[in-house]
Structure 1
Amino acid sequence: MPTILRVGPYSFIFFSSDQGEPTHIHVKRDQQLAKFWLDPVSLAKNRGFKQQELNSITKLVEEHKQTLLEGWYDYFDT
């Protein structure tokens, strides 16, 4: 479970089993977890975050999209 980025209480991660799926990132805080597609940025799944916090997280994903994509491609060597 590589961590690509940490911003405040959020860890931006993916799982080695994610290979083969379109580029995405999981955002984790405590027991909450959300999955965002990266191209284009959109929410795929949410487990526990309230809408207002999801809006803030979406902005972080958009802001750091390039770093997240580079982390994905570096890890999966694609």
Structure 2
Amino acid sequence: MPTVLYLRGWRFHFYSNEGNEPIHIHAQKGDSECKYWLDVESYDIREAYAYRLSRRDTREVRKIILQHFDEIVDAWNTHFGSQS
């Protein structure tokens, strides 16, 4: 389970068996968890699911993903091979 970054108590990661899916990132903090799809062409993210996240948590996670978008994509491509 490669971890891309830890920030503000959030752990951003993906699972090693997910290489057949489009680029995405999981975020986990305590009992809160979410997953976002990353669209490399439009530089956009789309929520796949979110469990036990407040609106504030959702905004924070989205902001972190957007601020580290390229780093996340690079980590995905390094682990699974380029898909972008």
TM-score when normalising by structure 2:
0.87
Residues 1:60 and 2:64 are matched in the alignment: yes
Structure-1 residue corresponding to 2:76: 72
Structure-2 residue corresponding to 1:9: 9
Residue 43 of structure 1, CA deviation: 1.1
Q: Give the Cα–Cα distance (whole angstroms) in 2 for the partners of residues 8 and 42 of structure 1.
A: 21
Structure 1 residues not aligned, in runs of 5+: none
Amino acid at match of 1:3: T
Structure 1 residue runs of 4+, over 6 Å off? none
Identity, % of aligned pairs? 27
The secondary structure found in structure 1 opposite 2:46 is: strand
How many residues are paired up?
78
The secondary structure found in structure 2 opposite 1:38 is: strand
TM-score when normalising by structure 1:
0.93
